[in-house]
Structure 1
Amino acid sequence: MHEAPAPTAIDGAALADALLRLLRLKTPPVAMQMFAHADDMQAIERLRRPQGMVHTADQIVGQAARLGFTVGITADDLVGPQCSAVLGLSPRSEEWLRGEPMAGVWFATQEDSAAHQQAMTCAPYGRWQAMAASPLASGRLPAPNIVLVYANPAQMILLINGLQWSGYRKLEWGAVGESACADSWGRALATGEPSLSIPCFPERRYGGVADDELLLALSPADLAKAVAGVEQLARNGMRYPIPPYGVQMDVRAGMARSYGGKKV
């Protein structure tokens, strides 16, 4: 397990362009940067603040992904600690760990609700005071900690294949269920590991996530590695969209191209 990713300067426009070109993403990738001091966030160009409104973290990411905004928040701008604790902007208090508001709503018993809270992966508390999200292509966040990529399953598996093109390792994830942002940006900020999630009910209801979208959160370095891998896979003939071969066709010709070492 890696440590939480440090902010990294990247050519966000080039990476975003490559992702849109190679995978035809419907939703532009989003950069997320954490700030040790809220005042530092204020220096970001064209930064929007909620201005007295209360949001979920899903909405902040959604404004960047769906509307192209650059938005900055502190814990005071979020609806409660269920959002801010995942980002490390508030502590995992005893009250938070009990998860009483979820008992009987999302989980059958108080014990189930508390077990869910314990299972969530959250960024470490005390390191950061603020978070900003912005389209990766805008370049407004100079050194994002992680990048969020929304993609359908076919696009996502090719992105993961690209990440595994060189220096292969098996990637494993979990599903906390409700509060799935803990599986994506929470886990990626806490561990530095690429983190895949099935976006949950609030992400879809409040964050604008589409029915067919999965979410991968990963460090800028891992994203660059994945894009390079997808470029190579495309040269080898593994491209998006993946054309159906036909469930009754003789498979030998197609398999020879995909698995026989022949580049297309």
Structure 2
Amino acid sequence: MFFWKEIVNDLQNLMKIRTIPIGMKLFKSKAEMENVPKIRRPKQIHTADQIVAQAARLGWTVGITNDDLAVSQCGAVLGLHPQDEEWQAGKEYAGVWYETAEDAEKHQQAMDVVPYGEHEAMAVSPLASCRLDPPDICLIYGTPGQMMIFINGLQWRNYKKFNWGIVGESSCADSWGRALKTKEPSLSIPCFAERRYGGVQDDELLMAITPEDLVKAIDGMKQLAKNGLRYPIPSYGIQQDAQAGLAFSYGKK
């Protein structure tokens, strides 16, 4: 069981986040998605970035099928559109984002996507609403400084090194695509489309993470805070003698 309002309150206290933390969930059927309390259905055609933004920026609970999406790229990342030969070729991106058709095809093949055919719909909703309980993954937007503290919290117990790639444009594949596919914490630099259509701010990164790992990160950040390692990170001064500051964290106790 997850206590979502408490989790969101912890995120706000520990990270001072300014964007609503949201959940994302895939559904086997459209009917199952439409059964989510207070679900909104698009009346226009959107990108997946816009649907995510309606939850993260407006606080809405929104559900979609592939028919609601403007381009195949959005549906393919979520496993709602076939990753067939036409999609894998990515011809529409050649000469736009990539010099050659070969480059475009390499990009498509590099993307982390949910396998097609297992789900028919997707919904996003603020975590605090408890309407997707539990979501498959949680989406947290934050600045680089906020994300560093979050990652430090995630590494507090059972340390592991994280290796994240950058696919380039369509970097939703690096965040929710990868997290839905692998269940691993997935940090991305949101792409042009996420910023143009999804309202992502210039200083924001995106973490996609399972509820279990989100709780782990929060627990770790609480432990770090006890050691004086918390957000916001105060500037010590670039010309000051660093010994006193370092002694606070690493001196004998």
Name the TM-score, length of structure 2 as normaliser: 0.98
> Does residue 1:59 correspond to 2:45, yes or no?
no
Counterpart position of 1:5: none
Could you list the structure 1 runs, at least 4 aligned residues long, displaced by more than 4 angstroms after superposition.
none
> Does residue 1:215 correspond to 2:215, yes or no?
no
Q: Which of 97, 101, 106 matches 1:106?
A: 97
Q: Which of 108, 115, 125 matches 2:106?
A: 115
Asked whether the equivalents of residues 44 and 141 of structure 1 are also in contact (C-alpha less than 8 Å), the reply is yes
Q: Which of 12, 15, 20 matches 2:4?
A: 12
Within 5 Å, give how 1:119-130 maps onto structure 2. 119-130=110-121
Tell me the amino acid that sits aligned with residue 131 of structure 2. Answer: R
Name the TM-score, length of structure 1 as normaliser: 0.94
Segment of structure 1 superposing worse, 150-159 or 249-258: 249-258
Asked whether the equivalents of residues 102 and 113 of structure 1 are also in contact (C-alpha less than 8 Å), the reply is yes
1:261 is displaced (CA, Å) by 6.2
Q: Which of 48, 55, 79 matches 1:88?
A: 79
Tell me the amino acid that sits aligned with residue 161 of structure 2. Answer: K
SS of the residue corresponding to residue 103 of structure 2 reads helix
Counterpart position of 1:253: 244
CA RMSD across the alignment: 1.0
Tell me the amino acid that sits aligned with residue 236 of structure 2. Answer: Y
Counterpart position of 2:14: 22
Structure 2 runs not aligned, ≥5 long = none
2:167, 2:250 → 1: CA distance? 35
SS of the residue corresponding to residue 57 of structure 2 reads helix
1:259 is displaced (CA, Å) by 2.9
Within 5 Å, give how 1:13-52 maps onto structure 2. 13-51=5-43
Counterpart position of 2:229: 238
1:43 is displaced (CA, Å) by 1.3
SS of the residue corresponding to residue 33 of structure 1 reads strand
Tell me the amino acid that sits aligned with residue 44 of structure 1. Answer: V
Structure 1 runs not aligned, ≥5 long = 1-8
Asked whether the equivalents of residues 20 and 28 of structure 1 are also in contact (C-alpha less than 8 Å), the reply is no
Q: Which of 182, 190, 193 matches 1:191?
A: 182
Counterpart position of 1:179: 170
Tell me the amino acid that sits aligned with residue 27 of structure 1. Answer: T
1:122, 1:136 → 2: CA distance? 23
1:158 is displaced (CA, Å) by 0.3
SS of the residue corresponding to residue 207 of structure 2 reads strand
Counterpart position of 1:68: 59
1:140 is displaced (CA, Å) by 1.2
2:14, 2:51 → 1: CA distance? 27
> What fraction of aligned residue pairs are identical, expressed as a percent?
58
> Does residue 1:146 correspond to 2:140, yes or no?
no
1:80, 1:93 → 2: CA distance? 14
SS of the residue corresponding to residue 148 of structure 1 reads strand
Deviations 1:5-60 (A, max 9, x none): xxxx5222111110011110010211001111111111111110002x10000000
Tell me the amino acid that sits aligned with residue 47 of structure 1. Answer: I
Q: Which of 180, 204, 208 matches 2:195?
A: 204
2:160, 2:23 → 1: CA distance? 25
Tell me the amino acid that sits aligned with residue 132 of structure 2. Answer: L
Tell me the amino acid that sits aligned with residue 186 of structure 1. Answer: G
2:119, 2:153 → 1: CA distance? 31
1:260 is displaced (CA, Å) by 3.2
